[in-house]
Structure 1
Amino acid sequence: MKTFIQATEYWLPSPDRSSLVYGGGLYPPGSRLGEVSPDMCFQRGQGVPGRAWETAAPVVLHQFEGSYFLRTEAALADGLTCAIALPVFHGDYLAAVVVFFCGDGEDHAGAIEVWHNDPRQSHDLTLLDGHYGRTAEAFEYISRRTSFRAGFGLPGQAWQQGAPVFLPNLGRANSFLRTDSAQRVGINRGLALPCSTPGLSTHVLAFLSALGTPIAQRIEVWMRDDTGHVLQLHAGFCETAGELGPTTAAPPVASGHTLVGQAWERGIPQITHDLAQVPWPAAQTAGLHRAMAWPVIDDGWFVAVIALYF
């Protein structure tokens, strides 16, 4: 099953913080982008990672040709047409930039959205930008004309709670306010999380998954338990195993253990190409081999780890 996110990578500040250097990535087999990226670096404002660093906000680039994207030939050779960059800040300190790449197939449904609020101008979250599959024109039209108060809708809940919110079935979720439009294009699950952007403005990133092209093969949201000493599987969905949550037989994760615990301990994204080496039995049972995990920070505080499996 093809996923909506077809490649992902992350970039880290160089030791002197003058540029962003390659941290790691997951790409299609034989990827040209995967070949050229490890040797690259980006100055502030340069390329998609550098633009997210400069603006201190998520960036959506809808097409590579004729843009500031610096790896166009390689990306197009991989069938990639769009990039979304998510900066990870610890307060005012940039820790990493995560980049997600999508394609543009005829049956490519789903969405990645960036919602924004500037309290000096409005009380609402409005759509700053987003990438929608080719079959989601009506859903995009509705989304660009929708706004959310804190606590309302999927983005508004993540904004109010300052934590990831996962809805496994949007058709049964009274809190999802665009159900009819989503169902028409097969969008059935949603994950929204606050972005750790400095300043007064708020940004929320939303992943909306479709039946035919899910965001990833497996999504996990990990949060600290009541003791605060370990992470517990809070919510998620696996295309093989179904809905995930606290009742799922998933052992708690200590800081530094498994990919998820490493993202928590180090405060930066982590990637593996072989889950057998992590190890993580649940993902291996589902036939998954590669994963990325990154920390969710809100107002300078760690709140969760998101893990995507491919």
Structure 2
Amino acid sequence: MTQTLLAAAELWRPNTQSSTIDFQAGFYGECETLRGVPSQSAIALDQGPLGQVASTGQPMIIEELSELGFLVAEAAEAHGLGAAALLPSYTQGKVESILLMYFRRGADAKCAVELWAGTKGRFELSLDQSFHLGLDRFARISHYVNFPKGAGLPGQCWETALPSIVPDLATAKGFLRSSGAESDGLAVGLGLPIMQRTELRSVFLMLSSAATPIARVHEIWMEDPEKPGVLTRSQGVYGGLVDLANASNELVFAVSDKDGLPARAWSSEQPVLLDGIEAMSEAGLKRFDAVRDAGLSYALAYPVVVVDSVRAVVLLMG
């Protein structure tokens, strides 16, 4: 079974009444040492990276996991984790929750986790923060590239305020770093705009190889323009999981019934995490048999909200 570079994730929520940031949910895969850390961690609203994201609303990538606390650093060392990304979700312009994702290192791993942000006085995006594994040349190139609105994957997400999947980075005409992606073996790219009402805070990218994917399944779900309240898949990449891809072709979700992960994230306007095959079974996934047979053990749904309205849901499984 292919091990994904996305090793674990947690959902945290700022609590202004207690002036704390409270743990809500998580998935951990094989990271059992990390699983027990949140229950031992009391995080003040102004403390560490989580507090910084809660107060500024800006997403963040960190490579020094000790910034998240001593217990996290110990767990990270035990499980070979090398970086984390923190993505805020907003309700009426305020940070309602923070998705914390942990990425593992590996001797043969190749991936890029990037944040692209606007430069003051210039109408283009430049690399703001990043984590690159096994991609020295690609990383160097990235620091000299800028994306106007509509150009490349970051510029496309900026222009449309929608997420996008590039299934083959090496051959994609709209991916401006395709030659670097081809030489370094990158395959799949996911772009995710982080929007606060109508303002783009940044574009979050995850790029990985077929051999060491960040996730095994990447999907984007959007509302059917002819059937309000019904979600259909607009894009999907399945990494060779043919049965799961086939089971997804005609699938739809009703938002009003909170039917399935995309619908739950859409209706709540907040990320949803499932940890383990039992949790997936209890959630009543329509594709449960195909998910189980593929050996998947986690699912993460992240809604893209613009002006307090969900535009799309990104679903990752691994």
TM-score, reference length from structure 1? 0.91
- Alpha-carbon distance, 1:68 to partner: 5.5
Residue of structure 1 aligned with 2:260, choices 244, 252, 258: 258
Cα distance in structure 2, aligned partners of 1:132 and 1:259: 30
Cα distance in structure 2, aligned partners of 1:145 and 1:132: 15
CA contact (8 A) 2:220 2:233 kept: yes
Letter in 2 for 1:292: L
Cα distance in structure 2, aligned partners of 1:279 and 1:93: 31
Cα distance in structure 2, aligned partners of 1:244 and 1:45: 43
CA contact (8 A) 2:231 2:252 kept: no
Q: 1:228 to 1:15 in 2, by over 3 A?
A: farther
2:266 partner SS: helix
Of stretches 15-24 and 156-165 in structure 1, the one that deviates more from structure 2 is: 15-24
- Alpha-carbon distance, 1:228 to partner: 2.6
In the TM superposition, 1:158-307 aligns within 5 A as: 158-197=157-196, 202-226=201-225, 227-241=227-241, 248-255=249-256, 256-273=258-275, 274-280=279-285, 281=287, 282-307=290-315
Q: 1:166 to 1:200 in 2, by over 3 A?
A: closer
Q: 1:94 to 1:308 in 2, by over 3 A?
A: same
1:124 partner SS: strand
In the TM superposition, 1:1-310 aligns within 5 A as: 1-14=2-15, 16=17, 18-29=19-30, 31-65=32-66, 67=67, 69-70=69-70, 71-118=72-119, 120-133=120-133, 135-197=134-196, 202-226=201-225, 227-241=227-241, 248-255=249-256, 256-273=258-275, 274-280=279-285, 281=287, 282-310=290-318
> Which sections of structure 2, spanning at least 5 residues, go unmatched?
none
1:126 partner SS: strand
- Alpha-carbon distance, 1:49 to partner: 1.9
Q: In the TM superposition, what whole-angstrom CA distance separates every residue of 1:252-285 from its partner, at most 9, and x where no partner exists?
A: 3434111221111111111222322222214334
Cα distance in structure 1, aligned partners of 2:234 and 2:158: 18
- Alpha-carbon distance, 1:2 to partner: 1.8
CA contact (8 A) 2:190 2:206 kept: yes
Letter in 2 for 1:56: G
> Which sections of structure 1, spanning at least 5 residues, go unmatched?
none
Q: Percent identity?
A: 28
CA contact (8 A) 2:273 2:298 kept: yes
2:187 partner SS: strand
Cα distance in structure 2, aligned partners of 1:246 and 1:178: 33
Higher helix share: 2
CA contact (8 A) 1:7 1:101 kept: yes
2:81 partner SS: coil
1:171 partner SS: coil
Of stretches 6-15 and 179-188 in structure 1, the one that deviates more from structure 2 is: 6-15
- Alpha-carbon distance, 1:103 to partner: 2.0
- Alpha-carbon distance, 1:89 to partner: 1.3
Q: 1:19 to 1:148 in 2, by over 3 A?
A: same
- Alpha-carbon distance, 1:188 to partner: 1.0
1:170 partner SS: coil
- Tell me the matched-pair count: 307
Cα distance in structure 1, aligned partners of 2:123 and 2:57: 21
Cα distance in structure 1, aligned partners of 2:248 and 2:74: 46
CA contact (8 A) 1:232 1:246 kept: no
- Alpha-carbon distance, 1:55 to partner: 2.5
Q: 1:80 to 1:277 in 2, by over 3 A?
A: same
Q: In the TM superposition, what whole-angstrom CA distance separates every residue of 1:278-297 from its partner, at most 9, and x where no partner exists?
A: 22214334332321112111
Cα distance in structure 1, aligned partners of 2:208 and 2:172: 14
Letter in 2 for 1:94: V
- Alpha-carbon distance, 1:30 to partner: 5.3
- Alpha-carbon distance, 1:247 to partner: 8.3
Of stretches 145-154 and 85-94 in structure 1, the one that deviates more from structure 2 is: 85-94
- Alpha-carbon distance, 1:17 to partner: 6.3
Q: 1:112 to 1:33 in 2, by over 3 A?
A: same
2:96 partner SS: strand
Cα distance in structure 2, aligned partners of 1:202 and 1:246: 35
Quote the RMSD (CA, aligned, Å): 2.3
Cα distance in structure 2, aligned partners of 1:246 and 1:299: 33
CA contact (8 A) 1:87 1:98 kept: yes
- Alpha-carbon distance, 1:54 to partner: 2.3
Higher strand share: 2
